Chains A and B, each alone.
Chain A
């Protein structure tokens, strides 16, 4: 869930975007989707008005029964929030959701956000590393103290503790090259955020799988799941599905390309690439540019979508985080119908008789 709000936004249009997203989550829960992921972004006009994802996810949790609620992701930047607050708030969400929390971590990639908080882009990889090491300890230890790089604290009890034991699963967003290896070394799941081709993705997944075999987990267990991201648009009318899906994908790519990346304005080793922006710029020329599409898009008839999901499964992904909507570019009813059809026709093909983890179709 990006919770993007088209300009000119009003209190009512923001409320409606949140209401639509909640309606999608409630339906996703009923239909058997496995996850809902909410981003955390700040100051990104139109692109994302989701600055307090724990509140949104709490609302999701209180209106659903089984869908897992995921931070996708929390920026581990001390100027945004202390790791103490991350651990506390995540634990509360885990309690209120009845043990359904997934904690994705990351570090932000835009100057708009990092500069807005006065954060140093050179430090974000280091602070992310410190955050992910201490958060599981804060959850598991009765009392915790720390002398570190980005924060220190005397011994205190960090409360409450999450329901899930030993602690909720942890993930990291993977956009910069090599972050999948950082994830593997630490025993963290991969939230792939960058669209890519099959062979390129397969290499990354294989590298991750090989590396995580010998990881030194930062928590009490290894989360070895790898999810990718895709755009879902499913209809019996394949042309309508592709048209609608490409509208979502093109708008997402166009709006993402407007963001001012940290790499663009600050010479830094910390961001070897501009995150997902270069790939998106290659894919999109204008907001109406629906001529190109990512390889393996999950758009079309149920058969088309199933074939695409199967292809990504063959690459080695455990799940797909679907983007259903962006900037309210397609009608809410279309999104709900697309989800229903996917759940009726496609999901059963992957929910039954699987030997590995099921394909996890969350909403994003």
Chain B
């Protein structure tokens, strides 16, 4: 049987977001997205993700940076650090943590979709020869990466699996720990890919010091419209997703 996650979620739950499930979705018309993927070390592979998920072999860390030109909450940048995984047979990305430079956006993303966010200064800049992204939190650079030598591709070639966000779900009986499946839809206007470069990454600052990037995999940049969908599925983080998934009134299978 494939390796199952064994991450002890108790420590993570101490500062996990509390989410009330609604049918809220959010459309963000003009978003630049930089995604950079690296393999990370195999050590304690299982303990990277909770028991609901299976780690991939090799484990891959995804740095996913959004720059929204405007939104309901105003312009914002959001950088997520995620790990590739499987929920049953489906590709998913387990959110380790995120940074955001707009407190209003951060609050909304946290409350509605369970993003685990800390404030930071984020700079995502696109040039003709590269795309750079840096994240500075508490005056420390905790991430500095680039896509080098962009080449045009189609949006169909870029994949962003749904996120799995650990949160406390609030209902009439209190709260319960759950992984929230965060689905987004993308309408691409342009897309590029290039060579990934990672100048700086502080895994401890993002919540897991064992995430040490090793082998570069890919980098892509896209300009698109993003719709963050209403929450359709949540699952119990402590049991396999095939047994612990709840449908929140989803209109269609993922």
Contact = CB atoms under 8 A, between A and B. Distances in A.
Given A258-B54, A263-B159, A267-B158, A115 B3 contact: no
A255 to B, nearest CB: 7
A348 to B, nearest CB: 38
Contact of B2 (A112, A255, A264, A265): A255
B232 to A, nearest CB: 16
Nearest to A284: B89
A265 B157 CA distance: 10
Interface string B142-175: 0000000000011001110100000000000000
A254 B84 contact: no
B191 A267 contact: yes
B5 to A, nearest CB: 13
B58 A267 contact: no
B252 interface: no
Interface centre among A254, A258, A264, A285 (most CB of B within 10 A): A258
Interface in A182-212: none
Contacts of B157: 267-269
Interface residues of B, number: 31
Interface in A130-189: none
Interface stretch (B68-76, B103-111, B199-207, B214-222): B214-222
Contact-residue size bin, chain A (C-beta under 8 Å from the other chain): 20 to 34
B118 interface: no
B91 A253 contact: no
Contact of A258 (B37, B56, B58, B220): B56
B242 A257 contact: no
Contacts, number: 79
Nearest to A110: B57
Given A45-B57, A260-B56, A269-B157, A286 B2 contact: no
Given A115-B215, A260-B84, A254 B89 contact: yes
A46 to B, nearest CB: 7
A182 to B, nearest CB: 20
B32 interface: no
Interface string A45-65: 110000000000000000000
B153 A258 contact: no
A285 B89 contact: yes
B188 to A, nearest CB: 11
Contacts of B159: 263-265, 267
A217 interface: no
A111 interface: yes
B153 A280 contact: no
Nearest to A288: B242
A257 B89 contact: yes
Interface string A266-278: 1111000000000
Contacts of A238: none
Contacts of A254: 2, 88-89
B11 interface: no
A115 B242 contact: no
A112 B89 contact: no
Contacts of B218: 265-267
B86 A258 contact: yes
A178 to B, nearest CB: 15
Given A258-B2, A265-B217, A281 B153 contact: no
A7 interface: yes
Contact of A265 (B60, B153, B240): B60
A7 B218 CA distance: 30
A6 B217 CA distance: 28
Contacts of B86: 257-258
Contacts of B217: 111, 115, 265-266
A285 B56 contact: no
Contacts of A46: 1-2
Contacts of B60: 111, 260, 265
A115 to B, nearest CB: 7
B56 A286 contact: no
B242 A286 contact: yes
B221 to A, nearest CB: 10
Contact of B1 (A6, A266, A267, A284): A6
Nearest to A253: B89
B125 interface: no
B39 interface: yes
Interface centre among B89, B218, B220 (most CB of A within 10 A): B89
A7 B240 contact: no
A210 B158 CA distance: 34
A281 B2 contact: no
Interface string B52-85: 0010111010000000000000000000000010
15 contacts: A111-B217, A112-B58, A115-B58, A253-B89, A258-B89, A260-B58, A263-B159, A264-B91, A264-B159, A265-B37, A265-B60, A265-B217, A266-B218, A269-B154, A287-B1
Given A115-B217, A254-B2, A286-B242, 14 more contacts: A7-B2, A46-B2, A111-B58, A258-B86, A260-B56, A260-B58, A263-B159, A264-B84, A264-B91, A266-B217, A284-B89, A285-B89, A285-B242, A286-B88
Which 9 A-B residue pairs are closest in the complex by CB-CB distance? A286-B242, A257-B89, A267-B157, A266-B218, A258-B2, A267-B193, A281-B89, A260-B56, A267-B220
